[in-house]
Amino acid sequence: MFIFLVIIFVLNSEEFRCLSYINCPNKLLSSCKNLLYYIFITLEREAQDIIFVSDNEKVLVFTKKMPEGTKEEIEKISFSNYKKMKMIIKMSLNMNIIEEIPQSAMEKIIIKNKNYSIRVSVHPANSMEILNIRIIKENFFQPNENLKIKKGLNIIAGRTCSGKTTIFYSILNNFQGHIITLEDPVEFILPRLVQTDVEKIGYEEGIKSALRQNPDLIGIGEIRDKTSAQAAVRAALTGHNVLATLHIPNSKEPLKMVKIRMEEMGTIFFQHILSSVIFIDNFQAKQIECLEIL
């Protein structure tokens, strides 16, 4: 049984103009004109995020540009229109529409013949279920010959929107060998990779299964908690090449901040297998070699 929702929005001339630039092969954007308009405005402002916040009477829609964190309002919409748009987005991305739970999903779009992905994350709050939409340009296929994967744990570290994901997929895309990734969620689909969504199996079972496949490189989408940190360390301790990303504040001492974050997540042996830290700032990468494997 198929359910089709059709919601008509009144668009002004500026909104109609933006539609002519966007190729929408998917049901998400073709059925949600407001979102199309927000994406177009976000790219015109060279921003990355579309954020929705309640101000009691209306829902504020604004863009956020990183790394500066600059916010600019797009418009205010009614709660009823916001709920309709949120429902279309969640249904189109096969998200849970019954429960208000944290969840995320990805979709690809083409704008002015350029490929983008949008990542939609949902956060349940007291005031309303909050959407955050991040627009990511797919420019990570360019190889960086200065970055070398070494035996052991290689951590790509940097602050939000510094370019960690871009560098992560760039390295994976240009690595020669058998690659298995554990990601939460899988953000981009790349050829030749065995990509695993750990939401289905978890990091503990995922890393056990991946190690049995004897890959040349294991990718951990993001080290964000104890289980993902232990998975990365465990894989490196077995002698495998491991590549992972990690959020740290912008710092003149990235190695120190990596150490603090890994220890905070309960990993005690990581320093013995940490081969390199690739520090990212504004999409610029600097690789720092660390201790040899003991």
In the chain, % of residues over pLDDT 70: 86
Neighbours of 56 (CB within 10 A): 6
Whether residues 214 and 127 share a domain: the answer is no
Whether residues 277 and 205 share a domain: the answer is yes
Q: What digits encode the pLDDT tens for the residues 13-63?
A: 444 444 444 444 455 555 567 888 898 899 999 898 999 998 888 999 999
User: Which of 113, 137, 161 is the C-terminal boundary of a domain?
Assistant: 137
Lowest mean pLDDT, pick from 65-69, 74-78, 176-180:
65-69
Q: How confident is the model at residue 100 (pLDDT cuts 50, 70, 90)?
A: confident
Q: What digits encode the pLDDT tens for the residues 228-260?
A: 999 999 999 999 999 999 999 877 889 999 999
Whether residues 263 and 160 share a domain: the answer is yes
Model pLDDT, residue 17: 44
pTM: 0.74
Q: Cis link prior to 25 (omega < 30° from 0)?
A: no
Model pLDDT, residue 77: 93
Task: Return the CATH number at 127.
Answer: 3.30.450.90
What is the rounded CA–CA span in Å between residue 130 and residue 125?
A: 7
* Encoded tokens for 147: 């970055």
* Structural domain count, the chain: 2
Name the more confident of 208 and 109: 208
Whether residues 32 and 157 share a domain: the answer is no
Average pLDDT, the chain: 83
Strands 179-183 and 152-158: unpaired
Model pLDDT, residue 3: 32
Lowest mean pLDDT, pick from 103-112, 156-165, 275-284:
103-112
Whether residues 164 and 257 share a domain: the answer is yes
User: Which of 106, 137, 168 is the C-terminal boundary of a domain?
Assistant: 137
- Which residues does residue 218 pair with via DSSP β-bridges, in sequence order? 180, 242
**Any idea what DSSP says for residue 292?**
P
Does 86 map to a domain? Answer: yes
Is the separation of the CB atoms in 22 and 109 below 8 Å? yes
Q: Which residue segment(s) compose the domain that 244 sits in?
A: 152-289
Q: What digits encode the pLDDT tens for the residues 107-153?
A: 888 777 788 888 899 999 887 899 999 988 766 556 677 888 888 99
Whether residues 165 and 283 share a domain: the answer is yes
Neighbours of 23 (CB within 10 A): 13
Task: With residue 231 as reference, give the H or E element that holds it.
Answer: helix 226-237
Whether residues 125 and 194 share a domain: the answer is no
